[in-house]
Amino acid sequence: MGSQKVQNQISDFRFKISDSRFQISHAKEEKKIIMAELNIRERQAGDVTVLDMDGRITIGEGSVALRSAVRRLLEEGKKKLLLNLAGVGYIDSSGIGELVSSYTAINKEGGQLKLLSLTQKLQDLLTITKLLTVFDAYDSEAEALSSFK
């Protein structure tokens, strides 16, 4: 295939990176494919901020998205965070490091970070690394929310 033909095929696509999302759309079809390592939805439950996460917390986009969300919430004065990990299918060592870093940053500011709905894989990983003794983890959102001081 000649370089001109490849260039024309590539120019038919639009690429956009924003808010930890990589979007590709075809100029003619306008169908979007969204590929994001980690999607985070924020909601309030009283004075607790719940971050519902879906995807992977890995080196790169996933851990950066988590770090950015937590640091932004701290800057806004929100110091009670509940991370809902029910939709997290995979976490690597960088992701574990980001969980610990977030926990440390929030504790340093006098806040609390707790985990909700750990998958079996994540629970096993936190048990093996002895981090399950560091984090407060809950299966029930109601129980987790009532545990905040």
The range of the structural domain enclosing residue 15 comes to 3-35
Number of folded domains in the chain? 2
CB-based contact 87:120 (threshold 8 Å) = no
What pLDDT tens digit does each residue of the chain (149 aa) get? 444 443 334 444 444 444 444 444 444 433 333 346 899 999 999 999 999 999 999 998 889 999 999 999 999 999 999 999 999 999 999 999 999 999 999 999 999 999 999 999 999 999 999 999 999 999 999 999 999 98
- Do 17 and 79 sit in the same domain of this protein? no
31 lies in the same domain as 47: no
> Do 102 and 143 lie in a common domain?
yes
DSSP three-state, residue 58 = coil
Tell me, yes or no, whether 15 and 59 share the same domain. no
Say if pTM beats, i.e. exceeds, 0.85. no
C-beta of residue 59 within 8 angstroms of C-beta of residue 94: yes
Say whether both 88 and 134 belong to one domain: yes
Considering the domain architecture, whether residues 31 and 50 belong to the same structural domain is answered as: no
Same domain? For 45 and 75 the reply is: yes
Reading the block at residue 40, the tokens are 């985070």
What token pair was written down for 129? 């690394």
Same domain, 28 and 52: no
Same structural domain, 65 and 113: yes
CA pair distance 125, 121, nearest whole angstrom: 6
Whichever domain contains 81, its CATH number is: 3.30.750.24
